Structure 1
Amino acid sequence: MSKSIFLLRHGQTVFNAQQRLQGHCNSDLTDLGQQQALAIGLSLKNKLANKRQWTIYSSPLGRAIQTAEIVANQIGIDPSQIVKDVRLQEFCLGDWEQTYIPDIKEKQPRLCDQRDWYLMAPNAESYYAVKDRIEDFLADISVSDNAIIISHGLTGAVFRGVYVGMTYNEVFSQDLPQNAYFLLANDKISRIQCDIEPAVTLAV
């Protein structure tokens, strides 16, 4: 049986809103980020015929766990059952972590011409290191055939690229949405847009 995977990025964080790089460091979800996670959770709830068949896997970084817990609660899966997997965490962005993106681009304006400019950070994790851990995850027979995965922008792009065999340039030509998620099944990727409804509110 081939796997069916719902792949999503964590919601907007404080650092996202501030245009700061995170990598392996962390910042909490903003109110918008919580709303994005809630909306995706509600969307997933409506798509899963049997929630008991699905396992939630998350990057161990705080923003991904925070998103995963909101999604789990909306679906009706016990958050304590979330499987944390280091293979899903974001690229380490080396010396640029916590740095403001406009400051980096002001000092190195030509970076704007490169879609993979993040990886130019001194001591950053390499594309191939992340590709290797995603390949390992996809080949892992202990991973459920029905998986909901909460990862990150860049790692999620690599994940989709590995899944369908994209080239390096194709991987970094993808967008990194926080208001959409992806179904990976039968060697195809489907994007599911998930805009926030004005009436959507977090349950207390």
Structure 2
Amino acid sequence: MTRFEIDNEFPGHLDGSNAFDWYFRAPDGESFDDSCKRATSWILDVRHPTIAISHGLFGRILRGVFLGLLKQEMLELPVPQDGFYRLDDGRCELITV
């Protein structure tokens, strides 16, 4: 749904939201804090080299948690379509293809 359609279907539900935090306002959806907890748990569970595929939003959160960023910094991370990220030893490196 577009923001316009959401506002028509659920009046006021997106009031006060910005281009990024409206993702976390879906009825019965995952909150930002819950997404961060899930990312943290996953990072702590990884024991050896791993390839992980995710959607753009969760990729932002995963990289942000890994790098210790604040919420707004995480949500503003780029989501390129021509590469992937390598997370290792506290660094996040974009590798383009």
Same fold, TM-score > 0.5, yes or no? yes
Distance verdict in 2 for CA 1:106–1:128, change over 3 Å = closer
Matched, 1:150 2:77: no
Matched, 1:176 2:79: yes
Q: State the 1:159 CA deviation.
A: 0.4
Letter in 2 for 1:104: E
Give the corresponding residue for 2:89.
Answer: 186
The answer for unaligned runs of 5 or more in structure 1 is 1-99, 195-204
Root-mean-square deviation (CA, aligned residues, Å) is 2.4
Aligned residues with identical type, % of pairs: 28
Instruction: Compare CA radii of gyration and give the structure with the larger one.
Output: 1
Larger relative CO (CA 8 A, sep 6+): 1 or 2? 1
Give the corresponding residue for 1:104.
Answer: 5
Q: State the 1:105 CA deviation.
A: 6.2
Q: State the 1:178 CA deviation.
A: 2.8
Distance verdict in 2 for CA 1:152–1:111, change over 3 Å = farther
Distance verdict in 2 for CA 1:111–1:176, change over 3 Å = farther
The answer for unaligned runs of 5 or more in structure 2 is none
User: For residues 37 and 50 of structure 2, what CA distance do their matches in structure 1 show?
Assistant: 19
User: For residues 83 and 2 of structure 2, what CA distance do their matches in structure 1 show?
Assistant: 23
TM-score, length of structure 2 as denominator length: 0.77
Given the alignment, which residue of 120, 123, 139 partners 2:25? 120
* Runs of 4+, deviation exceeding 6 Å: 108-112
Give the corresponding residue for 2:62.
Answer: 159
**1:5-154 to 2 correspondences below 5 Å:** 100-101=1-2, 103-104=4-5, 107=8, 113-140=18-45, 143-154=46-57
